[in-house]
Structure 1
């Protein structure tokens, strides 16, 4: 692939690691593929003298430590390539590392940033290596990447230890936000700004980069990584009000969705984490409903359509017999008329389509025991979330899906254990109730049921598998 990548490397001491990183670049990258820009943040261990002697390197020397974001920005402003790769100096690249990254980046106009997998990184870019010595690294990386040629994963977040970014994206959204001093969350911020402009992010599984991890922090005795992380996290939350690390898919929905489902409505989709998991698993067009504007805009980077409305405002009539599946993720308890919503959703499903929903159980001891003592206090989270408008028991959950419209094909319980004495109390209540002729036999089990997952298929449809 033609084109040149500008590699921007920030250094602060740790000369031995910088040498290994640069040597690996020279060994595994064609000279016409890249330019190297090194920004030194006032090293005192001979790094500056070493870099000055290198040929074909653009070198920027800072008299004071400017931090990660500002230093990287200095380097990126000198870049002339069609892409900029921010690379930590405590990394070692491996055979054929750059070409797959570039191929992924330029495979689509919608892709704005990509990153490799590594032995030391947070999130899904992390893989478990079999090597214990860097001398074993080349063989491992060659075998690992060969077995995953062309494999890509869409994500909401990439880590800045090795981050390849399109020049046009930088020109559109800008560089790292320099309020995130020294390091951490400047990459999250760049990722979020990219998503909000409609760009997509990918992990490239056939590119492996070894990472020693936090070498710059360890080299600077005046820095405390935990303190900087906490402070920058607060800066990020203050700026955006959202944590990319908390944008996770529903833990059960992907396994319950039929793999042949090609058109799915995700009601209450949030930032689209569940849909992203489905997109990575199967060929599917995701549609979403989300009232939070920021989350809806993030989801739009991957979803075919996202309506920024409340659930009861969704134009169901425009999508009659349209979807293979409709997902309600912790939604129906928040609307005034969930029965009407289910009826409308039924009309939007193709024959044999399914509804997948998750509902909290009012019978759990977390609610039932305080209720028996006269306490029904709303909480910030949980079954008594103050935004909940409707409350359900297993019986009334099932009643949402009337027999003349649906077959309930799957019920899956999510149980949360309770204190042993509380369990004994409800066991006794159930026993006494039965002895008096009340239907309390199921009470002992219901007080540990926190949520119920239901998969309901439209009547007369084919099996959901």
Structure 2
């Protein structure tokens, strides 16, 4: 028995069409429950609130959370359940055109697209979207459902998946299932209001989990694009949830080791990069670690850099949002030097002290032009980072900036650069200097 819970903003024809489609393409025994966005007293409910209330009345072994704009295809539920049973996952998410990150489907997929069953396309993911999602009912109850302190704008799914992982249960993406969404029909907040709400949600996520990055459950695929990890022995000196290590495995790394000192985050990372609770890997691991294998990659989570040093050398060392947190970054870089194999690469991502998202609040009362995630926490000027590498005995081989809007496309950036030129602060200010992040690849200096 499966309980299919459909969130509906206004009980419109979208809901009727969704239910009709579910009945026509679903062979599993099921019940359909509406999760209305209005309470009996007329109060507007957030998505987590509405789903929790409907789930409390559900009787199925599995809960499936959908929105009224969903168009499932033939075999959709059978495949999701097959993934959950075949992997032992606590939650499963399909590919979807409106999902972010790893779940985002190709634009070539259209409503009614049915993919061929293919278990090789099931992959673990630290985070999956709140809708569409299948979750075991006992797991949902055990972790307390969705945290209603988060609203409809995001991070309720990130938080739920981290709590699921903390309890020893993995989430998976069923890459052989596609579910289409037409887009919700309800009033949307204006962009400034949406950014304000997102900012509050993100800060709540960071406070609850002790994070410096609310997107810690998402792999940094963009940063990894700078290097080739296939066949490499990789060390992530700040693994957080282990999401980036999983991406290294997906890209063919031979071995991926992560260091995470925070106990809660390390428990999450161990669920994906160690032995899941109640299981034995049956494979030899590093001393003092728990190990697992994913996509042929041996995965390990360690408590400290000292433990990682005992298993050097590494072909690639990753430091994301970490060097700028060090009280003595040069000394820390010198500690990383002995970890690198001959010809090994250090990949660093540093928050830019000159980022426009940091500078704008200082200029009149202008709001940040984009979601200001990298604007939080410690930061460093790119020139200073280059000096750190030089003093520590590294040679920088490549630099790249991220999230820098093109000149002429961002009025705040154009106005800021004009101000800098007019006041003679800088003769030829380059827009990339004001991006949110700077990425560096470095090798040991000869």
Q: Would you say 1:410 and 2:405 are equivalent positions?
A: no
Q: Would you say 1:205 and 2:175 are equivalent positions?
A: yes
Distance in 1, matches of 2:98 and 2:132, equals 11
Equivalent of residue 454 in structure 1, options 432, 441, 444:
441
Distance in 2, matches of 1:419 and 1:79, equals 57
Distance in 2, matches of 1:321 and 1:344, equals 12
Q: Residue 384 and residue 77 in structure 1: after superposition, are their counterparts in 2 closer, same or farther (change >3 A)?
A: closer
Q: Would you say 1:105 and 2:84 are equivalent positions?
A: yes
Is the contact made by 1:6 and 1:85 (CA closer than 8 Å) also made in structure 2?
A: yes
Q: Residue 322 and residue 117 in structure 1: after superposition, are their counterparts in 2 closer, same or farther (change >3 A)?
A: same
Any stretches of 5+ residues in structure 2 without a counterpart? 275-299, 357-371, 408-415
Partner of 1:401: 393
SS at match of 1:324: strand
Q: Would you say 1:254 and 2:220 are equivalent positions?
A: no
Distance apart, 1:391 and its partner CA: 7.6
SS at match of 1:6: strand
Is the contact made by 2:302 and 2:308 (CA closer than 8 Å) also made in structure 1?
A: no
Q: Deviations over 1:304-324 (max 9, x none)?
A: 444556xxxx31575243533
Q: Residue 330 and residue 245 in structure 1: after superposition, are their counterparts in 2 closer, same or farther (change >3 A)?
A: closer
Distance in 1, matches of 2:156 and 2:351, equals 37
Aligned pairs for 1:424-463 within 5 A: 451=438, 453-456=440-443
Distance in 1, matches of 2:323 and 2:197, equals 37
Q: Residue 387 and residue 165 in structure 1: after superposition, are their counterparts in 2 closer, same or farther (change >3 A)?
A: same
Partner of 1:437: none
Distance in 1, matches of 2:373 and 2:73, equals 46
Distance in 1, matches of 2:64 and 2:30, equals 10
TM-score by length of 2: 0.66
Distance in 2, matches of 1:453 and 1:328, equals 10
Is the contact made by 1:325 and 1:349 (CA closer than 8 Å) also made in structure 2?
A: yes
Distance apart, 1:89 and its partner CA: 2.7
Q: Would you say 1:35 and 2:30 are equivalent positions?
A: yes
User: How many residues of Structure 1 are paired with residues of Structure 2 in the alignment?
Assistant: 385
Is the contact made by 1:263 and 1:285 (CA closer than 8 Å) also made in structure 2?
A: yes
Distance apart, 1:165 and its partner CA: 0.6
Distance apart, 1:351 and its partner CA: 5.3
SS at match of 1:177: coil
Q: Deviations over 1:183-207 (max 9, x none)?
A: 8654343223223334333332321
Distance apart, 1:262 and its partner CA: 4.6
Distance in 1, matches of 2:157 and 2:258, equals 26
Aligned pairs for 1:180-219 within 5 A: 180=150, 185-215=155-185, 217=186
Equivalent of residue 67 in structure 2, options 84, 88, 92:
88
Distance in 2, matches of 1:84 and 1:330, equals 37
Q: Residue 175 and residue 454 in structure 1: after superposition, are their counterparts in 2 closer, same or farther (change >3 A)?
A: closer
Q: Deviations over 1:202-237 (max 9, x none)?
A: 33232122223223x45xxxx969879965873674
Partner of 1:326: 317
Distance apart, 1:94 and its partner CA: 0.6
SS at match of 2:258: strand
Q: Would you say 1:355 and 2:346 are equivalent positions?
A: yes
Q: Residue 122 and residue 321 in structure 1: after superposition, are their counterparts in 2 closer, same or farther (change >3 A)?
A: closer
Q: Deviations over 1:17-58 (max 9, x none)?
A: 23322222222221xx23113236499xxxxxxxxxxxxxxx
Distance apart, 1:327 and its partner CA: 1.5
SS at match of 1:392: helix
Partner of 2:252: 282
SS at match of 2:384: coil
Distance apart, 1:87 and its partner CA: 2.0
Distance in 1, matches of 2:3 and 2:21, equals 16
- Could you say what the CA RMSD is over the residues aligned between the two structures, in angstroms? 4.8
TM-score by length of 1: 0.64
Q: Deviations over 1:396-420 (max 9, x none)?
A: 5234236xxxxx5833354989947
Is the contact made by 2:91 and 2:134 (CA closer than 8 Å) also made in structure 1?
A: yes
Q: Residue 458 and residue 42 in structure 1: after superposition, are their counterparts in 2 closer, same or farther (change >3 A)?
A: closer
Distance in 2, matches of 1:421 and 1:153, equals 49
Q: Deviations over 1:369-415 (max 9, x none)?
A: xxxxxxxxxxx99999867699836465234236xxxxx58333549
SS at match of 2:93: strand
Is the contact made by 1:327 and 1:355 (CA closer than 8 Å) also made in structure 2?
A: yes
Distance in 1, matches of 2:439 and 2:421, equals 19
Is the contact made by 2:65 and 2:134 (CA closer than 8 Å) also made in structure 1?
A: yes
Equivalent of residue 103 in structure 2, options 114, 118, 125:
125
Is the contact made by 1:261 and 1:324 (CA closer than 8 Å) also made in structure 2?
A: no
Partner of 1:69: 48
